[in-house]
Amino acid sequence: MTYLQKLTSETAQQYTKIYGRPPRWIVAAPGRVNVIGEHTDYNDGFVLPTAIERYAVMAADKAAEGKNVIEIRDVSGVEPALIDLSVPVKPGPPRWSNYPRGVISGFMEHGMNPGGLDVLLHSTVPLGAGLSSSASLEVCTATLMEAVIGRFMLPVEKALLCQKAEHEFAGVPCGIMDQFISVMGRQNNLLLLDCRSRETQLVPMNDPAVSLLIANTNVKHELAGGEYAMRRAQCQAAARAFGVASLRDATPEALESARGKMDDVVFRRARHVIGENERTLHAAEGVRASNWPTVGQLMFASHCSLRDDYEVSCKELDAIVEIAEGIGTKGGVFGCRMTGGGFGGCTVSLVQTEKVEAISEKIAADYKTKTGTEATIFTTRPAAGATVVKG
Ligand code: GLA
């Protein structure tokens, strides 16, 4: 049984216990890990994420006749969401319900009304850890809406509807990476996404000798939200200074000639984005060629740039990257970097599969010594995007 099969069958059993009948629909949407291409999506740049084997799962059935409400319970027992469809869907309590609310509102605006539903949510995507728990919840909700209504959107439209939900209902001005990969992930592939044209290319990564190892620092620094919006604004300021529409269009040469003529902070933000776009394209070539040492070096370089120029790392993320660098290629680590928005959350490492156990033990032990905090470590194969499992 795969991880997903086990998770969905457990969710179906719990559904039957809670609602007294089996679910008619079961859908799943994965979280993601970004291998490289950080803080480039909202600059029209390139990203190289993959879906991971951690999912938001929803099991559902029609609600009782006359009940025009989508009720979403969560297996953890947090306050359920009650979304009344007889009035326009607006943000509301509990806070987590704003992700499904935003998506349902988007479907209603498209004239797609699912009617009342009894839903059970079970997510194994770690919350707030930079693995896109919120995008997976949005995409899961959208996939359920499609299954129930029996009409399927184009993948790009679906991802954009989910992104809009995050902007308008959760108040997070995110880019398009997370929703795109949760919709479009393919097993054994990374996805190279051009965030300007929205064209995607699958980049096969099926060499069993290498694995992606994710280490959760289990810290989340609260400044993340405000700092994210500030980075966006600084990038826009940099693009204006270069006289281009977005930093995607700024060249390394233009950057060099702007040295000393631009605000230092804005200059360094631009240097990160310009360099990161190049690194991402090179890394995609490296993955295609199974050139793991090169991909790994680009990941380390990405981390330094995020730490020093973009300033979105933190001491816990830096600690794991340092430990990984210390283990080095001899010990089976090709590269390691922070992944996602930053200020806590996870690192992603490219490692030799046969050394996963030793690497995990070393990172766990040294991280505990350095920070006093326990890390959570797991590996994943590149996974498939959202699916209708039943219905
Ligand atoms: C968050 C956002 C993404 C992206 C990353 C940084 O995950 O949701 O759109 O901007 O940060 O790469």
Q: What are the pLDDT tens digits along the chain (391 aa)?
A: 899 999 999 999 999 999 999 999 999 999 999 999 999 999 999 999 999 999 999 999 999 999 999 999 999 999 999 999 999 999 999 999 999 999 999 999 999 999 999 999 999 999 989 999 999 999 999 999 999 999 999 999 999 999 999 999 999 999 999 999 999 999 999 999 999 999 999 999 999 999 999 999 999 986 557 899 999 999 999 999 999 999 999 999 999 998 888 999 999 999 999 999 999 999 999 999 999 999 999 999 999 999 999 999 999 999 999 999 999 999 999 999 999 999 999 999 999 999 999 999 999 999 999 999 999 999 999 999 999 999 9
- How confident is the model at residue 259, as a pLDDT? 87
- How far from chain centre, in Å, is Cα 314? 19
User: CA distances (Å), 355 to each of 209, 327, 361, 364, 374, in order?
Assistant: 10, 11, 10, 14, 21
Task: Give the mutation target among 167, 174, 181, 313 for probing the ligand 1 site: most ligand atoms within 8 A of CB.
Answer: 174
Residues annotated catalytic, as ranges: 178
Q: Residue of the nearest CA to atom 11 in ligand 1?
A: 341
Distance 39 CA to ligand 1 centre (A): 6
For ligand 1, whether the C-beta of 180 sits within 6 Å is: no
- How confident is the model at residue 224, as a pLDDT? 59
Q: Which ligand 1 atom is nearest residue 39's CA?
A: 12
For ligand 1, whether the C-beta of 39 sits within 6 Å is: yes
- How confident is the model at residue 221, as a pLDDT? 82
Distance 177 CA to ligand 1 centre (A): 7
Contact call for residues 91 and 101 (beta carbons, < 8 A): yes
For ligand 1, whether the C-beta of 319 sits within 6 Å is: no
Tokens read off for 353 = 């599969």
- How confident is the model at residue 201, as a pLDDT? 98
Q: Residue of the nearest CA to atom 8 in ligand 1?
A: 174
- How confident is the model at residue 86, as a pLDDT? 97
Q: Is the dihedral of CA 272, 276, 279, 281 positive or negative?
A: negative
Distance 46 CA to ligand 1 centre (A): 12
- How confident is the model at residue 49, as a pLDDT? 98
- Pairing of β 210-220 and β 69-74: unpaired
Q: Which phi and psi angles does 282 have, rounded to 5°?
A: -65, -40
- How confident is the model at residue 260, as a pLDDT? 86
Calpha distance 51→190 (Å, rounded): 8
User: CA distances (Å), 27 to each of 8, 78, 103, 136, 368, in order?
Assistant: 8, 20, 15, 11, 37
For ligand 1, whether the C-beta of 210 sits within 6 Å is: no
For ligand 1, whether the C-beta of 276 sits within 6 Å is: no
**Bridge partner residues of 192 (DSSP):** 201
Residue 357: Cβ within 10 Å count: 11
Distance 174 CA to ligand 1 centre (A): 6
Q: Is the dihedral of CA 232, 163, 72, 20 positive or negative?
A: negative
Q: Residue of the nearest CA to atom 2 in ligand 1?
A: 174
